[in-house]
């Protein structure tokens, strides 16, 4: 669903950066790679959904769409809540490593990553396009490796 995709992109691109406290600066090269990936993926998903995807009448009531939408919604809620926990780990001026507690962090050490992975697999299930599945798999491999690093 293009609305789901746009909602997430707006949250991640406009709202989330305004909520972040001071932290380590992002290297310029990393920023450029992330920007290129997001632009390319946004184009790919938007083009796929608006030009090539064909859905039968009643698709919004199909169990595949409903399950995918719920997965996307739950994943986004986990992602946003986990980001909130991470942003509030330290008091202003405080440094050092802290282990996040609460929410899905009680079950997985990378709850923010888990939420985003769930989100995009839900999106892929709701859309049923090869492009959305490719994005979900990229998310799994990229964030899965980051989650593993954070866990160690």
Distance CA 131, CA 127 (A): 9
- 25 assigned to some structural domain: no
State pTM to two decimals: 0.79
Tell which residue, 28, 46, 62, has the closest CA to residue 135.
Answer: 46
Q: Give 3 or 88, the one with higher predicted confidence.
A: 88
Which parts of 45-151 are beta strand (E)?
A: none
pLDDT (tens digit per residue) in 52-81 = 999 999 999 999 999 999 999 999 999 999
Confidence label for 32 from pLDDT (cuts 50, 70 and 90): confident
- 79 assigned to some structural domain: yes
pLDDT (tens digit per residue) in 106-141 = 999 999 999 999 999 999 999 999 999 999 999 999
First-residue to last-residue Cα distance in the chain: 36
- Nearest 5°: CA angle at 31, between 30 and 32? 90
Q: Give 95 or 135, the one with higher predicted confidence.
A: 135
Expressed as residue numbers, the domain containing 125 is: 60-90+100-151
- 110 assigned to some structural domain: yes
As given in the structure block, the two tokens for residue 78 are 């986990």
- 16 assigned to some structural domain: no
- 69 assigned to some structural domain: yes
- 116 assigned to some structural domain: yes
What single-letter DSSP state applies at residue 27?
Answer: P
> Which residues, 6 or more positions from 53, have their beta carbon under 8 angstroms from its beta carbon?
127, 128, 129
Distance CA 74, CA 87 (A): 20
For the chain, the domain total comes to 1
């Amino acid at each position: 669903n293009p609305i789901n995709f746009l909602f997430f992109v707006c949250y991640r691109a406009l709202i989330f950066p305004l909520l972040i406290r001071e932290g380590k600066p992002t290297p310029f090269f990393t920023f450029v790679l992330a920007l290129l990936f997001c632009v390319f993926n946004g184009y790919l998903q938007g083009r796929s959904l608006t030009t090539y995807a064909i859905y039968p009448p009643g698709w919004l009531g199909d169990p595949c769409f409903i399950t995918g939408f719920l997965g996307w919604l739950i994943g986004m809620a986990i992602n946003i809540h986990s980001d909130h926990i991470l942003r509030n780990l330290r008091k202003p001026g405080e440094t050092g490593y802290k282990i996040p507690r609460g929410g899905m962090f009680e079950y997985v050490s990378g709850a923010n990553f888990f939420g985003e992975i769930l989100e995009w697999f839900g999106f892929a299930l709701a859309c049923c396009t090869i492009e959305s599945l490719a994005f979900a798999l990229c998310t799994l491999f990229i964030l899965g490796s980051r989650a593993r690093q954070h866990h160690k």
